[in-house]
Amino acid sequence: MPFSEIQSKTILRKQKKIDSWFIMQHSMNLYKGCMHACAYCDGRDEGYFVQGEFSRDIAVKTNAIDILRRELDPGRKRKPFRRSFMLLGGGITDSYQAIEKKYELSRQALELMLEFNHPVHVLTKSPLVEKDLDLLQKINAQSRAIVSFSFSSVDDLISEVFEAGVAPPSERLQSMRRIKAAGIPCGMFLMPLIPFVTDSPQMIDDALKQAQAARLDYVVASGMTLKEGRQMDTFYKTLEAFDESLLTEYDMIYSGDKWGNATAEYYQSLNATLYAMARRYHIPLRIPQKIWHNLLDDNDRVVVMLEHIDYYLRLRGSTSPFRATAYNISKIKEPLSSLRSNLHLIKGAGNTTLRIIREILDTGRCSYLDKLANL
């Protein structure tokens, strides 16, 4: 397998606001490209500027740890980091692909997280993450660590077609059980659900059943985006070999949206399925508050909770103003607790939203969200 060693100018990537899917504001990619070679991987999209053949030409950011140390050093920062999980993985690479055995960049990054007392969220498809269980346990005891594994289904045969370079789902589930047994919260990112392949009620039911049997803490699920260019070309080659007749179905739901989204009708129907299945197994479809509630400041806690409410309502087929209000709150610099008498000035916040915000500020909890999440 060819690989190159490259120098990176930065490692930490900052989001404009707290991300309520991963409960993070910073993420890092220590490699570029991914040997796991999933057919649907959106890391192939030209917008990520990964040079060469995505699954073969792996680039190793050999100066990553020096840069990361500099970026984490509190003495060099004008403003301290807002507290949330730092995400290791996701996007254009998997931090625990096989090349990690040689370079150990992920392990060294975790050592820095421990040294600088940062909570960590690892997202991977590889049981290789277990080599760092000792460090994850230390981080979890000190500041919190969680591990998520991604799946497109729990079917080993389907996985062999669409995720040929990864450990089969059955092995991933076993790994998750061991991680949970070591005391680390662990959940499933059931994404992407591949349209007409892994998004059927039966396939989703199987995944949630396995998640429940493994006592996972959450299942965060989502449909697939498919952008024109390298991602779509690669995926369609695999799909065609799997079942050529599906190409027509894909034409119906992917109609050239700039972000690769399928039609709104498709996502609505997927949401209805997810909602019905999650109710059967009583599994949270967002990372639950018990895992992160004392990590975030008041503003971020309100933003995440409003976005989670919005998600659960959309799952039930309703629309809500909560996501837009959450976005407006994310722009507020002052702590919400210091603005108590002026909360009504928040753009988009009606009486119900204000009641929710006050409850969160007073108690750290939101009874409405608890009700919605208790599917």
Residues that bind ligand SF4 (CB under 6 A): 34, 36-38, 41, 43, 93-94, 125
- Half-sphere exposure for 134 (CA within 13 Å, toward CB): 4
Matching residue, tokens 């209805």:
272
Indicate the SS3 state at residue 18.
Answer: strand
Residues 6 or more apart whose Cβ sits within 8 Å of residue 191: 150, 151, 152, 220, 221, 222, 223, 224
Q: How far is the CB of 109 from ligand SF4 (least distance, A)?
A: 16
Q: How far is the CB of 123 from ligand SF4 (least distance, A)?
A: 8
Cβ closest to ligand SF4, residue 89 vs residue 284:
89
- Rounded to a whole number of angstroms, the CA Rg of the chain reads 21
Q: Are strands 145-151 and 120-124 parallel, antiparallel or unpaired?
A: parallel
Indicate the SS3 state at residue 150.
Answer: strand
Cβ closest to ligand SF4, residue 94 vs residue 199:
94
Cβ closest to ligand SF4, residue 55 vs residue 330:
55
Cβ closest to ligand SF4, residue 195 vs residue 288:
195
Q: Are 147 and 177 in contact (CB under 8 A)?
A: no
Q: How far is the CB of 181 from ligand SF4 (least distance, A)?
A: 24
Whether residue 192 has a cis bond before it, omega within 30° of 0? yes
Q: How far is the CB of 41 from ligand SF4 (least distance, A)?
A: 3
**Would you say how long the chain is, in residues?**
375
Return the closest-CA partner of residue 61 out of 24, 9, 21: 9
Cβ closest to ligand SF4, residue 225 vs residue 320:
225
Q: 264-281 and 298-315 helices cross at what angle (nearest 10)?
A: 100
Cβ closest to ligand SF4, residue 36 vs residue 323:
36
Where are the extended beta strands (E) located within the chain? Answer: 3-6, 12-19, 24-28, 31-32, 58-61, 85-88, 120-124, 145-151, 186-190, 219-221
Q: How far is the CB of 67 from ligand SF4 (least distance, A)?
A: 21
Q: How far is the CB of 148 from ligand SF4 (least distance, A)?
A: 12
Cβ closest to ligand SF4, residue 58 vs residue 203:
58
Q: How far is the CB of 169 from ligand SF4 (least distance, A)?
A: 13
Q: How far is the CB of 94 from ligand SF4 (least distance, A)?
A: 4
Return the closest-CA partner of residue 126 out of 92, 183, 71, 165: 165
Cβ closest to ligand SF4, residue 83 vs residue 125:
125
Residues 6 or more apart whose Cβ sits within 8 Å of residue 320: 309, 310, 313, 314
